[in-house]
Amino acid sequence: MIVGTCFLRLHLPGSRSLKDKRKVVVSLCDRLRRRFRVSVAEIADLDLWDATTLGVACVAAREDVCRKLLHELICWMDGAGPYEVVEATVEIT
């Protein structure tokens, strides 16, 4: 069993409050779960209204499947919403 994780640091330029941020984060997490069948959670920057860090996890039988899925997820995120991907780190274990 191979576990792939991805840490995504996002900048939310249109967010003016924690309520605005929450709308974007909840919507994005739901879309990632549905589209890529991954586990997603907001893991850092909980009190910042213009930034967040998401943790994404997937499980597969082969390493290349995890890498491909997480690469596709990152590419999709680059044009999917009102945020900017500042940093994306992938780890395979």
18-33, pLDDT tens digit by residue?
999 999 999 999 999 9
5 confidence band (pLDDT: 50, 70, 90): very high
Q: What's the CATH code of the domain at 47?
A: 3.30.70.1120
Residue-number span of the structural domain to which 57 is assigned: 2-92
Q: What is the 3-state secondary structure (H, E, C) of 61-76?
A: CCHHHHHHHHHHHHHH
Q: How many domains does the chain have?
A: 1
Helix then strand then coil, in percent of the chain rounded to 5, is 35, 40, 25
Q: Model-level pTM greater than 0.75?
A: yes
Residue 52, beta-bridge partner list: 10
Query: Rounded CA gap, 49 and 62, in Å?
Result: 37
